[in-house]
Amino acid sequence: MKTGWQQMSATALGKGIGTGEIDPVTLTEAFLDAINQHQYRDRIYARSTGERALSEATAARDRARAGTRRGPLDGVPISWKDLFDTANTLTEAGSALLKGRMPTQDAVVLQNATRAGLVCLGKTHMTELAFSGLGLNPVTATPPNINGPALAPGGSSSGAATSVAFGLAAAGIGSDTGGSVRIPAAWNNLVGLKTTAGLLSLTGVVPLCSKFDTIGPLCRSVEDAAHLLAAMGGPKAPDLAKPSLHGTRLAVLETVGLDKCRPEPLADFEVALQRFEAKGAIITRLPIPAISRAMEIAGCLFVVEAYAQWGKTIEANPDTMYSPVQRRFEAGRKYSGVEYVRRWKEMKQIRAEYTALVAGYDAVLLPSSAILPPDRERLLNDDEYFIAENLVALNNTRIANLMGLCALTLPTDTPGCGIMAMGAPLGEARLLRLGVAMEAAL
């Protein structure tokens, strides 16, 4: 591969295509060769789509030569989590329950990205049916972590993250129901964007919890995230020039957001806050007791939806799933419909209280994950450890899902750590502009 291409941002590659310095076909061939030759190829990619990629790259080259490029990422090769339907390509969502599943058309977001000129390199491994934040999948494959092969990669968009971190895609597209974009992004030193529920179409996306499922990019820069969001059918990328933190009001969510943080992520978080203050940000410590109650009732909302979606399929095929993930689904059986409705009503009240309390802030900040990536083998051999670490890993990220927010994780100086900014629902443009300023400060 040409020097540096594997480490360049998607936006930088797109600019190179626009100036004629990079040929999309040569670029795509280089990424496909890197995939095929990589020692972790089969642990990161469930399957590559070389023929499709080269066809799309050829069309992108023709447009570049004709001066008719469709956007800033036209011709840039990216990966897709294996729950996005891809026409005539197996899409199994990391599960033996869906083995052999062959869609006849692309998911809507993939259709949009293809129209924007993005090149589909293939489908990446993931947690079974997207229901774990650790990224382990002994049924199909567990990708490695860029910070050490013995570490968990983060999930459920594990392969999406590692395809980028190991230089096997310019960006990856994942999904986030409780942290599944942000955890693997943070644990693999990447940018990850959780979009507002409903902003991007879920048509053609294998579901987990329809009220919480969202789609988002894992990439090397905030600018990449902005352009990828637009390419998938989101709003036009905002103007990201002249970022500044001066005068911005940032809240740190106290208590439930920090109580479970272990020393390394907490120390890293405090260093990041100091850098933001040095650039003129005004930081306030903000306890919101209602968030603690939201976390108490969250389990019901997630597991009931997940079990309603997959319970019959799981019951008809016992012993096909990794047991800790299967037990998470089966927990949905114990709740009544009355309890589920009551808890959703309470959650909506908490959302309203949260919205009122944070209205005067540009974003609310937390460590992206309360823990560093845990040891993969211990997780595989100790179910109780798996369950405990999974809950702590997702503690901070799922706040944004519960409150219906958009959220952005940025890498910091400490490998495997990240800092997360949560913005208002449908506030992606504002959050991305703030993210560029935070990125510069970090």
Tell me, yes or no, whether 184 and 108 share the same domain: yes
Task: Return the H-helix or E-strand segment holding 250.
Answer: strand 249-253
User: Any residues with CB less than 8 A from the CB of 337 and at least 6 apart, and which?
Assistant: none
φ/ψ region of 186 (left if φ > 0, alpha if ψ in -120 to 50, else beta) reads alpha
How many Å separate Cα 207 from the centre of its chain? 15
Per the DSSP assignment, residues forming a β-bridge with 378 are none
The one-letter amino acid at 415: P
Cα 68 from Cα 169, distance rounded (Å): 24
In the residue annotation, 79 being an active-site residue is answered as no
> Would you state the pLDDT for residue 312?
97
Rounded Cα distance between 407 and 394, Å, is 14
Query: Quick check: is 322 in a domain?
Result: no
Last residue of a domain, one of 201, 231, 261: 231
Same domain, 126 and 163: yes
Q: Please list the pLDDT of the chain residue by residue as tens digits (442 residues).
A: 565 999 999 999 999 999 999 999 999 999 999 999 999 999 999 999 999 999 999 999 999 999 999 999 999 999 999 999 999 999 999 999 999 999 999 999 999 999 999 999 999 999 999 999 999 999 999 999 999 999 999 999 999 999 999 999 999 999 999 999 999 999 999 999 999 999 999 999 999 999 999 999 999 999 999 999 999 999 999 999 999 999 999 999 998 889 999 999 999 999 999 999 999 999 999 999 999 999 999 999 999 999 999 999 999 998 999 999 999 999 999 999 999 999 999 999 999 999 999 999 999 999 999 999 999 999 999 999 999 999 999 999 999 999 999 999 999 999 999 999 999 999 999 999 999 999 999 9
- Annotated catalytic residue: which of 9, 79, 132, 156? 156
Q: Which two tokens stand for residue 121?
A: 């390199």
Length of the chain: 442
User: Are 215 and 355 contained in the same domain?
Assistant: no
pLDDT at position 255: 83
DSSP 252-267: EE-GGGTTT--HHHHH
Two tokens at 75?
A: 């011709």
Q: In the beta sheet, which residues pair with residue 191?
A: 219
Give the integer Cα–Cα distance in Å for 397 and 421.
10
Calculate helix-pair angle for 383-393, 323-330, nearest 10 degrees.
60
Tokens of 291: 């968030």
Residue of 180, 221, 368, 369 marked catalytic: 180
Q: Domain check: are 69 and 196 in the same one?
A: yes
Residues 263, 407, single domain; the answer is: yes
Instruction: Tell me the CATH number at 227.
Output: 3.90.1300.10
Any idea what DSSP says for residue 179?
A: S
Q: Which of 81, 95, 158, 369 is labelled catalytic?
A: 81
Answer yes or no: do 126 and 211 share one domain. Answer: yes
Assigned domain for 314 exists: no
**Is residue 18 domain-resident?**
yes
Q: Which domain holds residue 139?
A: 5-231
Domain shared by 68 and 207, yes or no: yes
The tokens describing 284, both together, are 């306030």
Q: Domain check: are 71 and 181 in the same one?
A: yes
Cα–Cα dist 322/128, whole Å? 8
Judge whether 9 counts as a catalytic residue.
Answer: no
What is the domain count for the chain? 2
Instruction: State whether 98 and 218 are in the same domain.
Output: yes
CA 44 to chain centre: 15
328 assigned to some structural domain: no
By the 8 A CB rule, do 197 and 83 touch?
no
pLDDT at res. 3: 58
Question: If DSSP codes are grouped into helix, strand and coil, which group holds residue 81?
Answer: strand
DSSP, collapsed to helix, strand or coil, labels residue 438 as helix
The rounded distance, in Å, linking the Cα atoms of 158 and 398 is 17
Spatial neighbors of 359 by CB under 8 A, at least 6 apart, are none
**Phi, psi (rounded to 5 degrees) for 422:** -110, 130
303 in any annotated domain:
no
Of the candidates 231, 262, 280, which is a domain's last residue?
Answer: 231
Residue 156 preceded by cis peptide, ω within 30: yes
Instruction: Classify residue 424: in a domain, yes or no.
Output: yes
The answer to whether residues 212 and 272 belong to one domain is no
Q: Distance between CA atoms of 36 and 43, rounded to whole angstroms?
A: 12
From CA 239, how far away is CA 22, in angstroms rounded? 25
User: Quick one: 227 and 253 in the same domain?
Assistant: no
Predicted TM-score (pTM) of this structure: 0.98
In-domain check, residue 356: yes
Whether 128 maps to a domain, the answer reads: yes
For 318-383, the DSSP string reads: TT-S-HHHHHHHHGGGG--HHHHHHHHHHHHHHHHHHHHHTTT-SEEEEES-SSPPPBHHHHHH-H
**Phi, psi at residue 290, to the nearest 5°?**
-65, -25
Residues 151 and 267 grouped into a single domain: no
* Residue 232 burial (C-beta neighbours within 10 Å; 0-12, 13-18, 19+): buried
Q: Tokens for 208?
A: 């987990």
Active site residue 292: no
CA–centroid distance for 208 within its chain: 15
Supply the pLDDT for residue 171. Answer: 99
